[in-house]
Amino acid sequence: MPTFTALTTLTGKSQAEALGEAMESLTPEPTGIGVFELEDGSGLWEVGGYFTETPDDTALALLAAVHGAQPFVVSELPETDWVAHVRRELSPVEAGRFFVYGSHDSDKVPADRIPLLIEASMAFGTGHHGTTLGCLRALDGLIEQGFTAARVADIGCGTAVLAMAAARVWQGDFLASDIDAVAVEVAEANLKANGMEGAVTCLEAAGFDHDELAAHAPYDLIFANILKGPLVALAPDLVAHLRPGGYAILSGILNEQADDVIAVYAQAGTNLVDRGVIGDWTTLLLRKIDAI
């Protein structure tokens, strides 16, 4: 089945978002729409749609004119074996003592690193994205300082690479949860691929809404690599599940959102220990205030 793209650029976030929303009413209907700021300092935003049928040139031209965008450029994508493509493009990732790799790079694992095998077909949470990499670096920094954790929760775990990393270093109770049942299956498959079956308990849950998560609280360390909105909503619950002096590693936060997240978690009872920036993304290391 052919895939077509229709791409344009324009100035301003609100204008770009409005154009992206307007594209949803096109016929034929796009299968996906993206709105991104170009990282070249130009101030331009790119708006694009994917189609399984040839998009309507007239409708696209009208939308571009109404929203002050450049004319859409329509292209047909070549058929691609995306898993093979990802395998070629995704090189191993080193985050301190951790080495995240796909099976196609199994011959590259250094003897002095902790290996974490995440298949390329499970690309979200492979460690290449700034959010996951930031969390692994924050974890490595805690370990370097001599911190140990016997109870760890990875909320919104995706591939469970963060829970797996913790379980490779410490012994105790490690839980990984995700609202998406498919993510839980992926997490379990990754544990098996790493010979870690049973090392991490994988759960389908929204936030901390699971008996198992409640039963193992309070935690020494909680990961939450999600997005600003869910992180803010989760703040009281997350901090309540931390022991006094315990740490939270939070990511999925755009750089300009970080101060807002810090403020919300400060009100919930944490102090900022460190903040790391990788590209557009910030990772926060927070510590729950000790009981007085």
Binding residues for S-adenosyl-L-methionine: 132, 156, 178, 225
- Binding site per annotation, positions: 132, 156, 178, 225
Pairing mode, strands 173-178 and 201-204: parallel
Cα 193 versus chain centre, distance? 21
Instruction: Give the three-class secondary structure for 238.
Output: helix
Contact 248, 270 (CB under 8 A): yes
Closest CA to 158 of 138, 187, 132: 187
Helix ranges, 51-114 (H) = 57-67, 82-89
Instruction: Give the three-class secondary structure for 246.
Output: strand
Instruction: Give the three-class secondary structure for 265.
Output: helix
CA distance linking residue 256 with residue 206, whole number of Å: 26
Reported residue count of the chain is 292
Instruction: Give the three-class secondary structure for 76.
Output: strand
CA distance linking residue 108 with residue 271, whole number of Å: 39
First and final C-alpha spacing in the chain: 63
Closest CA to 250 of 145, 115, 118, 139: 139
- What tokens appear for 167 in the block? 């379980």
